[in-house]
Amino acid sequence: MNSRTYEESSLKFCHGTTTLAFICRAGVVISVDSRASIGNFIGSPGVKKVIEINSYLLGTMAGGAADCFFWERNLSSLCKLYEVRNKSRVTVSGASKILTNSIFKYKNSGISMGTMIIGWDINGPSIYYIDSDGNRLKVSMIAVGSGSTFAYGILDSGYKWDLEIEEACELSRRAIFEASRKDPFSGGNINTYIIRKSGWVKVSFDDIGLLSNAAYKEKKLKKLN
């Protein structure tokens, strides 16, 4: 009989992703990859890591996909209930607090979450980082996940407050692209959103493989010339 304990024999999950968001003059820009990993294997290349909570609020997923999806969909229901009871939209701060309160009682129970709640309300644009350890931080720029270190390198070198929409979206896409090249747990597709006073809009969907091939061809042409 195998003497190994359950903990020793169970599958070890390596969570990996790259998600990012930042505030600039154009609005709040969000970009995420779409790869889900199980250990050293790719579980899915096309996970939707942006949860549309309402027309002015978005959530991102990093950590356990099932945990993030469940609790952010639950947050969407609670925000709708808040609107019905109070006849007004919940603020970004309020939504982030609802999520924090919902998961805090499950701290140290195995939940794995490193999510962002992002939106626009009467106070303007906001980004809140929330994790399963009970941390809740308001930030103006953030990258979360195994590829975040590489994404920060691109963001720090290219960010400025007065970015136009096209520049801001291109910066966010390039950060995800470079992270996916260096982090084996990030990849798939890049989904980019922007949030402004009128609400969120999905800007683009890009296949990272096609972007990589295009970059390789461009580099090869430069060498030939």
Asked whether 25 and 163 are in contact (CB, 8 A), the reply is: yes
60 in catalytic set:
no
Say which of 5, 17, 60, 91 is annotated catalytic: 17
Asked whether 62 and 69 are in contact (CB, 8 A), the reply is: no
Asked whether 172 and 30 are in contact (CB, 8 A), the reply is: yes
Burial of 165 (0-12, 13-18, 19+ CB in 10 A): middle
- Helices 92-104, 65-86: inter-axial angle, 10-degree rounding: 130
Integer Cα distance of 96 and 60 in angstroms: 12
Cα–chain center distance at 56: 16
Active-site residues: which are they? 17
